[in-house]
Amino acid sequence: MEPKKTTDFRGDTDLPFSSVNPSKSVPKFAAHRSRAVRWLAAGVCLLTCSALAGQWKPPTGSGLATRWAKDVSPDNVHAEYPRPQMVRQDWLNLNGLWEYAILAKDAERPGSFDGQILVPFPVESALSGVMKPVGPGNRLWYRRTFEISAKWSGKNVLLHFGAVDWEATVWVNGKELGTHRGGYDPFTFDITDALKDSGRQEIVLSVWDPTDAGSQPRGKQVRKPNGIWYTAVTGIWQTVWLEPVPQIHIESLKITADVDGQAVEVLANVSAAVGDFDLKVAVFDGSKQVCQGQVIKISGGTSSVARPSVKLPVKDARLWTPDEPFLYDLKVTLAQNEKVVDEVTSYFGMRKISLGKDEAGVTRLLLNNKPLFQYGPLDQGFWPDGIYAAPTDEALRYDIEVLKKLGCNMMRKHVKIEPARFYYWCDKLGLLVWQDMPSGNNKSDEDKKQFELELSRLVQTHYNSPSIVMWVPFNEGWGQHNTPGIVERVREWDTTRLVNQASGWKDEGVGDVQDIHSYPGPAAPPVEEKRAAVLGEFGGLGLPIKGHTWQDEKNWGYRTYSTREELTDAYVALLSNLRSLIGGGLSAAVYTQTTDVEIEVNGLMTYDRAMIKMDAERAAVANRRLYLPPPVIKTVVPTSREQGQAWRYTISEPANNWQQKYFDDSGWQKGQAGFGSKGTPGSVVRTEWNTPNIWLRRQFVLKTDKFEQLYLDIHHDEDAEVYINGVLAAKLQGHTTSYVQAPISEEARKALKMGENCLAVHCRQTAGGQYIDVGIVDVVDQPIK
């Protein structure tokens, strides 16, 4: 079989968007440019299932698919090197057609199999060629064969699984190697002693996954998808591969960049070995060696792993940022008796994430010691054709490219952990990542122990990725427990990143940020001295696009629109409100979400990634304005958030000219805002209002008419009409869950005069909570320094 190639160790290719230029940000060894990595190593022969390839195809009527599905075949399925941060030359890809069978959970190994499955696509997906559920009462079995050439003789052979959901037991040539529990982390078996001297070798794998019948971390997978809960995934869903290594070899690297100290520390976990060895580390900027260091005569042993480390100076370091995601290359070499026995290449970014004060004394998120507002979408990581597995590496990269094109500098990876190549693309293209831990129920002590184990593997596995800047152990209270203890554990494992104790809902006052959710929002938590204020979820503006939805009807978003123009207008208005909150102390915001997912239609893109649903240029302009210096928010007419303001009000329909400046409201009642029912989200009720309608009037005095950008500062639940001196200032539909800024019409702006003015408001309520309070603010942009 002809070896498949990539353009270098990481599978680089040119990018389609002019806004991203990899040639300026991604260093390579000069040798890499002239030497392609072969996924089929020289002298290694894989027994492919190419004779059966013609039998594989997605099931008839499998529904929505991405444009990359046509590029998938048994001979071309995720052929890229799967571990970009520790690369060796020789490896063998085991992706392709395997045999599969679905049997009762307690059944013995099958004597015959049901058919072929295309690995690494989960069995429930169309691209697997199977598209069948498994369920907690059954077990999924896999089998395939391969051959190893004598050229690997004398080396240990490692069998790697990128991820298998959830409990996997592995046999090679009938020998049981062990069981792994955890659906998101890579695991490895040394299969050397199980291999036959020659001929066909056999791998058998059994997988059990209880999905939501169990308490294990599983994210949004459920057996009966509905609403925000999606199709379950069972079995292999990341690359399976073999790797020959010497007896003494590098098992893993821990790379810690020190921006303040202008240095990088590389710790190598080295397998047990007899005799002394030397470790050498070299740092490269492209083909230029920046520095080199070594540790000599490290004592090896037969039963323990050595962990030598080297700290190297990186003078005048090129820092990693979303705008300039520069990556240094690493070469790490092991030698015995001056002979190289193992060598791996890697990369790192000089990047620091921390908290600090801005010029106004507000606690902010800092990147490389400078305040940077972080903005991007909630990213579910689901695909209509592969579910958990992107159809191709190009598809995996595409989502990140689109977000960069739209002006995002961050994403929150939501209750899912991706393959290593996903984070590689974030590292390379420059996208910050808030990484969630997949949620589970965590009911029993055993459940909690498993959760903590898988959380520790997440931090350990992806520690080296410069794009990841925050760990998020819990989401909205799902399985949340022992929050202070979990935060402390994560900080013990990783001192270089921030910890978001829980995104949304239950705040226990620990961690580095206070994170709230507000739909559609936006909203901001109170500014604190020691934690940054962030909006962990908001938006969710929906638009179903016919021909690009998971189902034809009964799709939903948190707020749904009918046209692309309506959606774009609503999005731009939402971000305009967000910008004013930044001036008040908000440090980051996460919009829901990157793509539609199954029946959710609140994505920036359709589920099949066929189109960006709103006007991309208008959205990008609105997004990029968020990174300008925070505006100053000046109160013109105060709301009643802090102190009650006096209004005249009536719940009986008034005369037609009730909104005019000189209308006689002396017969109306007096009361302090806000008006509403207690318990309405985000409200500060001072006067009870529980009828369908309320009309309000308030006089205020202006001592100047010189303003920059006037906005209503309003919390309305539900529809509201606001007038200034009898002129309609804004007509607002629906409800908010917090105070937001709404643009004032040009006509109403002109109606404002020095001296006495009048605010008049009508609010209408149909169901649920109700609330109304209004003020006026001036949003003053600050110069760019």
Residue 36 clears pLDDT 50, i.e. is over it: no
Contact 328, 262 (CB under 8 A): no
Confidence tier at 408 by pLDDT (50, 70, 90)? very high
Paired residues of 226 in beta bridges:
229
Contact 601, 549 (CB under 8 A): yes
Give the mean pLDDT of 511-524: 91
What's the gap between Cα 780 and its chain centre?
A: 32
Q: pLDDT at position 740, please?
A: 81
Q: pLDDT at position 572, please?
A: 95
Q: pLDDT at position 782, please?
A: 84
Q: Which helix (DSSP H) or strand (DSSP E) does residue 591 occupy?
A: strand 586-592
Give the mean pLDDT of 220-248: 96
Question: What distance in Å separates the CA atoms of residue 256 and residue 266, rounded to the nearest whole number?
Answer: 7
Residue 45 clears pLDDT 80, i.e. is over it: no
User: pLDDT, tens digit, for every residue of 314-361?
Assistant: 999 999 999 999 999 999 999 988 899 999 999 999 999 999 999 889
Question: What distance in Å separates the CA atoms of residue 463 and residue 469, rounded to the nearest whole number?
Answer: 10
- Which has more pLDDT, 272 or 616? 616
Give the mean pLDDT of 433-448: 96
Helix, strand and coil in the chain, % to nearest 5: 15, 35, 50
Lowest mean pLDDT among 45-54, 380-389, 570-579: 45-54
Confidence tier at 82 by pLDDT (50, 70, 90)? very high
Q: pLDDT at position 303, please?
A: 53
User: pLDDT, tens digit, for every residue of 676-735?
Assistant: 999 998 899 999 999 999 999 999 999 998 898 899 999 999 999 999 999 999 999 888
Give the mean pLDDT of 446-468: 98
Residues in the chain, overall count: 785
Residue 245 clears pLDDT 80, i.e. is over it: yes
Paired residues of 434 in beta bridges:
412, 470
Confidence tier at 301 by pLDDT (50, 70, 90)? low
Q: pLDDT at position 597, please?
A: 97
Confidence tier at 763 by pLDDT (50, 70, 90)? very high
For residues 305-338, b (16+ Cβ closer than 10 Å) or e, as one string? ebebebebebeebbbbbbeebbbbbbbbbbbbee
Confidence tier at 273 by pLDDT (50, 70, 90)? low
Give the mean pLDDT of 104-112: 95
> Reduced to 3 states, what is the DSSP secondary structure of residue 642?
coil
Q: What does the mean pLDDT of the chain come to?
A: 90
Q: Torsions phi, psi of 74, nearest 5? A: -60, -25
Question: What distance in Å separates the CA atoms of residue 171 and residue 122, rounded to the nearest whole number?
Answer: 20
Closest CA to 259 of 433, 471, 85, 469: 469
Q: Say if residue 425 is preceded by a cis peptide, omega within 30 of 0.
A: no
- Which has more pLDDT, 198 or 258? 258
Q: pLDDT at position 739, please?
A: 84
Residue 5 clears pLDDT 60, i.e. is over it: no
Residue 44 clears pLDDT 50, i.e. is over it: no
User: pLDDT, tens digit, for every residue of 533-558?
Assistant: 999 999 999 999 999 999 988 888 88
Q: 566 CB contacts (<8 Å, ≥6 apart)?
A: 543
Q: Which residue type occupies 493?
A: W
Tell me the CA distances in angstroms from 363 to 281, 351, 782, one per residue in order.
38, 19, 18
Residue 224 clears pLDDT 70, i.e. is over it: yes
Q: pLDDT at position 29, please?
A: 32
The residue to which tokens 């270098």 are assigned: 8
Give the mean pLDDT of 194-206: 95
- Which has more pLDDT, 654 or 55? 654
Lowest mean pLDDT among 45-49, 426-430, 453-457, 545-549: 45-49
What is the share, in percent, of the chain residues with pLDDT greater than 90? 79
- Which has more pLDDT, 1 or 417? 417
Assign residue 495 a region (left: φ > 0; alpha: ψ between -120 and 50; beta: otherwise).
Answer: alpha
Q: pLDDT at position 61, please?
A: 67
The residue to which tokens 């004394």 are assigned: 361
Tokens of 242: 């073999």
Question: What distance in Å separates the CA atoms of residue 21 and residue 13, rounded to the nearest whole number?
Answer: 11
Question: What distance in Å separates the CA atoms of residue 507 and residue 517, rounded to the nearest whole number?
Answer: 11
DSSP 344-394: EEEEE-B--EEEEE-TTS-EEEEETTEE--EEEEEE---BTTTBTS-SSHH
Lowest mean pLDDT among 51-60, 111-120, 515-524, 567-576: 51-60
User: pLDDT, tens digit, for every residue of 146-167?
Assistant: 999 888 999 999 999 999 999 9
Residue 27 clears pLDDT 60, i.e. is over it: no
Q: pLDDT at position 630, please?
A: 86
